[in-house]
A and B are shown apart, each in its own frame.
Chain A
């Protein structure tokens, strides 16, 4: 016998009400805690002022015709890169500014925990000039294999290439090198795509090649929020070895016109040739596989299925599988959009795919920008540092509602900057804190930023990691947009061991950019690559840092040099930085 209608309705109402309550409960987080974050094993201490770093970024100003959305267009440009400029064994820092008349800064590491600004004397400061553009970032690499790191500065404007003369002075060789090209770029990387021992240059473009100070049209924006392809054209320059570079973009097939914000290079498919991974704004990520230096092939690898707002791409071995995985940041804003960050596991050897496994806290960091993998507690597993926040202005005014309107429009409408609602003094995902994700393996990643001391609310852009004092710790340098830079000293509180690996190329490029090291130590297997530029507008210390946990020795280091050479180093000393030079000739 069926119960009467009122009773039936009441019975159904019980699970109905329960579902509503569960939804509200799940809003505040998972019902079961994902991981124990009470003992992260390290602290990050803001020592910016103590270190003598007083760099403040200033955003660009552009043609008044796009004044309505200038905060958006000028929302990038704060970058930081690491290089041992003078070869003294201490990593130095280079910051870019983005306003006419404001200098970039080269901070020389004095080796005692402090820095001094030497940019002007070195000749790499005065780079933000009318007619030439404003700096968006820089990348270091020894282009002539003379043992000194040279500098490329990319701008919304002309590229500038500087040869490092003596570790203290630079000369502008842009014209002579054939690189005097206007490109509105937010990223560049060095890689030796043809394995000839010379670093080649890949420069990505964001806006197409318009002069943002003298616009003939306001139709300069993207033509889709998901599949825009009207950005500037990325360029690949082949290093000819005589101080000149040749544009081989079309021949090599890497001239993407998506709105690329970041690039990184490594041998993802294990064929011995460096590939290129792109994080594109307003579109899907792209992977260009290197066909033995003869050209690149754009492959899907599972990346085409998710069109997001790629801001940054960091490479690291997320779960100690001996593979270089990719972490790509995106945009999330409560209630409006959850694009979710991507942690893409490299399964190229096998399924020819990258598999996105980001879930939980790691998927949503806010409006995320630069990110980097680093083992902050030396336990043998990578953590992730993620900078966040786009525009911090009036706390009580948000542009998100206006953004939701324009994002729903037809592309022909918002391609015109003049049709966007004016920003005024509104914030857009402003005052967001950084995230520091502790790697707990299968238990997931858990944000410990507040616990370890990364508490700033600046609009983070570039993140670079370096062992600034050669003490076995991964310090964090963050360039903030229109705000002061921050140096977080990593203070591991454990007695874990570590090893730093400094590679010197001989047949490969001297910087060893693109070299990969697979560390094997008592069951631990972890891969790292020497950084030719990664994250967002950043470049890490060229020396590779491995945490070892309580392991007291390293079984071996397997080094894959860009030349194709494989080298095995057994039982290297630990708790120090070891220098390994590439064998002069091929081993049998």
Chain B
């Protein structure tokens, strides 16, 4: 055996750089990974596409979310909890909320609603709604004349999309929720194909929304929220498919001109999760037989 062969052999027997990085990442609290991912999305969104629309929006959202979390957790639990959840909610809210004019109140009320919903709408000490999903949906339903959902689209740029999908899938895998993301993706594509065929519509425009940032935030930070998702991999997939079906039904009704509140037309996946998520979680808590996840879980952090 030559030296070269020996070297190659030794190298092959060692874990690769990627593998070692993957191993090291297991020591990192997944909440930091998710916080890191949304920070990456924020940075790309702002510095490449100016999507934030004013730093005062970001500061206000973060301040309201973290302050609300600190005060309410202290009041309700006697201690201030980790604020990473509030941080992610604040960033998600900033990216997704697009108000009329220079209005800042949607970020104040939205931030407060997102966090306080966790302390008000709960069952067996578990909140039922994903916080940001609740806040955005509530604002769209209650104030459609003043609030719209994200309209910027990462410049409609393929590379940016791929970067976010790449890191998003890696982190979702690491956090153990990639099956949720992929289940939704597969369901969306399948149902969209069926809907397009049934209505005789071209397929590509129907698939198009999945490449937008609203769906990216939805897939990586809302539907995979460990605190509001049901327990058990199979159940998670079933609920995910149901959410995708409701999303498709909303879109079908929109296609057919059924009069719906504008929120449904503008943000079908958010409203689908808003409807299905808490019901599924309630039944899971009510009838499920698995123990609840510990509160300061090593699992991910809700947006």
A residues neighboring B (CB under 8 Å): 2, 5, 8-9, 11-13, 15-16, 19-20, 22-24, 26-28, 223-227, 304-307, 332-340, 358-360, 362-364, 396-397, 400-402, 404-414, 419-421
Instruction: Please give the distance in Å from A134's CB to the nearest CB on chain B.
Output: 28
Instruction: Please give the distance in Å from A491's CB to the nearest CB on chain B.
Output: 30
Would you call A336 and B76 a contact (CB within 8 A)?
no
Would you call B208 and A26 a contact (CB within 8 A)?
no
Per a CB cutoff under 8 Å, which of A13, A23, A360, A401 touches B101? A360
**B201 contacts across to A, CB distance below 8 A:** 421
Would you call B257 and A396 a contact (CB within 8 A)?
yes
Q: How many A-B residue pairs have CB under 8 A?
A: 179
Bound together, the chains give a CA A414 to CA B211 distance in angstroms of 13
If A224-B156, A337-B151 are given as contacts, then 7 extra A-B residue pairs at C-beta distance below 8 Å, sorted by A number, are A15-B116, A16-B119, A16-B120, A225-B153, A338-B148, A405-B206, A412-B158
Would you call B102 and A358 a contact (CB within 8 A)?
yes
Bound together, the chains give a CA A297 to CA B257 distance in angstroms of 49
Given A305-B50, A419-B204, answer yes or no on A363-B101 (Cβ-Cβ < 8 Å): yes
Interface status of B57 (Cβ within 8 A of chain A): no
Interface status of B193 (Cβ within 8 A of chain A): no
**A420 contacts across to B, CB distance below 8 A:** 205
Given A407-B151, A410-B156, answer yes or no on A20-B211 (Cβ-Cβ < 8 Å): no
Per a CB cutoff under 8 Å, which of B100, B155, B204 touches A413? B204
Interface status of B297 (Cβ within 8 A of chain A): no
Given A335-B266, A358-B102, A397-B257, answer yes or no on A224-B157 (Cβ-Cβ < 8 Å): yes
Q: How large is the interface on B (under 10, 10 to 19, 20 to 34, 35 or more residues)?
A: 35 or more
Interface residues in B131-176 by Cβ distance below 8 A to A read: 138-140, 142-148, 151-153, 155-158, 161
Per a CB cutoff under 8 Å, which of B140, B153, B265 touches A401? B265
B residues neighboring A (CB under 8 Å): 49-50, 53, 72, 75-76, 78, 98-103, 105-106, 109, 112-113, 116-117, 119-120, 122, 138-140, 142-148, 151-153, 155-158, 161, 201-202, 204-206, 208-209, 211-212, 214-215, 254-255, 257, 262-263, 265-266
Would you call A26 and B155 a contact (CB within 8 A)?
no
**A413 contacts across to B, CB distance below 8 A:** 204-205, 208
Bound together, the chains give a CA A306 to CA B262 distance in angstroms of 25
Write the chain A residue with the least CB distance to B52.
Answer: A305
Instruction: Please give the distance in Å from A353's CB to the nearest CB on chain B.
Output: 15
Write the chain B residue with the least CB distance to A305.
Answer: B50
What are 15 A-B residue pairs whose CB atoms fall within 8 Å in the complex?
Answer: A2-B78, A24-B143, A224-B156, A225-B153, A226-B49, A226-B155, A227-B49, A335-B263, A337-B148, A339-B151, A363-B101, A405-B209, A410-B158, A410-B211, A414-B205
Would you call B156 and A225 a contact (CB within 8 A)?
yes
**B138 contacts across to A, CB distance below 8 A:** 20, 23
Would you call B212 and A338 a contact (CB within 8 A)?
no
**A409 contacts across to B, CB distance below 8 A:** 153, 156, 204-205, 208-209, 211-212
Bound together, the chains give a CA A413 to CA B210 distance in angstroms of 13
Closest 6 CB pairs of A and B: A409-B208, A335-B262, A363-B101, A408-B212, A27-B143, A411-B156
Would you call A226 and B142 a contact (CB within 8 A)?
no
Instruction: Please give the distance in Å from A34's CB to the nearest CB on chain B.
Output: 11
**B101 contacts across to A, CB distance below 8 A:** 338, 340, 358-360, 362-364
Bound together, the chains give a CA A358 to CA B54 distance in angstroms of 13
Write the chain A residue with the least CB distance to B105.
Answer: A26
Write the chain B residue with the least CB distance to A363.
Answer: B101
Would you call A12 and B75 a contact (CB within 8 A)?
yes
**A359 contacts across to B, CB distance below 8 A:** 101-103
Per a CB cutoff under 8 Å, which of B106, B144, B158, B257 touches A334? B144
**A307 contacts across to B, CB distance below 8 A:** 49-50, 152
